[in-house]
C-alpha cells in the first residue's frame, strides 16, 4: 500500500473508532496518525539494517507524539492508538490486525529474555488505559485487557483480563473490540468475591438463627415434659 493508500486507511480507522472526530482533516492532528507515519519510515530503514537512522526517525516521532514505537516492531493492519501519550511498544513486539491501544499502554519485556522478549498481540484485541503486557507470550485473538492490568502470562483467545497480576475473568466473549470499545463494563473479580462471601455469610447467619429457634423449641418441649412428669 502506497502513501496515499496509508493515509486513506488511517482516516477510515480513526473515524471508525473515535467518536470525537468530526472531519477528515482532524486526522492529520492525531498522534496516532503522526506516529504511524514515523513508524512506517523507521521500520523500512530497520528492515534494511539502517539501525541508527531507524532509531533517529522513531525517536523523533516519540518526541512529537509521546508514543514510542521501536522500529523493529511488527504491526498489522487496522492499528489504532487512542490519545496515546505514554504508549511504549518494544522491539520484538508483534501486533495483529484491528488492534486498539489506549493511553499509557506498555508492550514490553521483563529484562530477562533473549531474542523474542516482547508480547505477540493477536487480531481484534483491545488493551485499555494504563495496561502493561510484559514478556514473550501471546494475547489471543478477540481479547480485552482491562485498564491498569498487568499481564505476565499468556491469554487464551476470546478472553477478558483484569487485575494485578492480570487474570482471565471471562471467556468466549466473541464481540469484536473494534465494534464495542468498552473499557468500563468489565467483570470485577474482587467485587464478585466479596459478594460471594456476603452471600455465604448471610446463609450461615440464617442457618444459625434456624438452629437457635430449633434449640429454643426443644427446650420449651423438654420443660413441658418435665412439668407433666411432676
| pTM score over 0.75 | no
Same domain, 172 and 131: yes
Same domain, 167 and 153: yes
Same domain, 93 and 78: yes
What span, in angstroms and rounded, lies between the C-alpha atoms of 110 and 115?
A: 12
Same domain, 59 and 94: yes
C-alpha cell at 132: 502493561
The count of structural domains within the chain is: 2
What does the pLDDT profile of the chain (230 residues) look like in tens digits?
A: 667 777 787 788 887 777 778 888 888 888 888 899 899 999 999 999 999 999 999 999 999 999 999 999 999 988 989 888 899 999 999 999 999 999 999 999 887 667 889 999 999 999 999 999 999 999 999 999 988 899 998 999 998 888 888 888 877 655 444 445 555 556 666 666 787 788 888 888 888 888 888 888 888 787 777 777 76
Same domain, 14 and 111: yes
Same domain, 174 and 211: no
Q: What is the CATH number of the domain that holds 83?
A: 2.160.10.10
Q: Which domain range does residue 223 map to?
A: 188-230
Same domain, 166 and 223: no
Instruction: Answer for the pair 118, 109: CB distance below 8 angstroms, yes or no.
Output: yes
**Would you call 97 exposed, middle or buried from its count of C-beta atoms within 10 A (0-12, 13-18, 19+)?**
middle
Same domain, 193 and 144: no
Same domain, 11 and 84: yes
Same domain, 101 and 140: yes
Q: What is the dihedral of CA 127, 75, 156, 186, to 10 degrees?
A: 10
Same domain, 76 and 120: yes
Cis status, amide bond into 165, omega within 30 of 0: yes
Same domain, 202 and 220: yes
Amino acid at each position: 500500500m502506497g502513501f496515499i493508500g496509508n493515509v486513506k486507511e488511517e482516516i477510515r480507522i480513526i473515524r471508525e473508532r473515535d467518536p470525537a472526530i468530526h472531519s477528515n482533516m482532524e486526522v492529520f492532528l492525531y498522534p496516532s496518525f503522526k506516529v504511524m507515519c514515523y513508524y512506517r519510515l523507521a521500520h523500512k530503514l530497520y528492515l534494511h539494517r539502517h539501525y541508527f537512522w531507524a532509531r533517529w526517525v522513531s525517536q523523533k516521532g516519540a518526541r512529537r507524539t509521546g508514543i514510542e514505537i521501536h522500529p523493529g516492531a511488527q504491526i498489522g493492519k487496522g492499528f489504532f492508538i487512542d490519545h496515546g501519550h505514554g504508549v511504549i511498544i518494544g522491539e520484538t513486539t508483534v501486533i495483529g490486525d484491528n488492534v486498539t491501544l489506549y493511553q499509557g499502554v506498555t508492550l514490553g519485556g521483563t529484562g530477562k529474555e533473549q531474542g523474542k522478549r516482547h508480547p505477540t498481540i493477536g487480531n481484534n484485541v483491545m488493551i485499555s488505559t494504563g495496561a502493561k503486557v510484559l514478556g514473550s507470550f501471546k494475547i489471543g485473538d478477540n481479547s480485552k485487557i482491562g485498564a491498569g492490568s498487568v499481564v505476565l502470562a499468556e491469554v487464551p483467545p476470546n478472553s477478558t483480563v483484569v487485575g494485578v497480576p492480570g487474570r482471565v475473568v471471562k471467556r468466549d466473549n466473541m464481540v469484536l473490540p473494534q465494534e464495542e470499545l468498552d473499557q468500563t463494563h468489565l467483570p470485577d473479580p474482587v467485587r464478585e468475591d466479596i459478594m460471594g462471601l456476603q452471600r455465604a455469610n448471610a446463609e450461615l447467619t440464617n442457618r444459625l438463627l434456624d438452629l437457635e429457634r430449633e434449640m429454643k423449641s426443644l427446650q420449651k418441649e423438654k420443660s413441658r415434659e418435665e412439668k407433666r412428669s411432676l
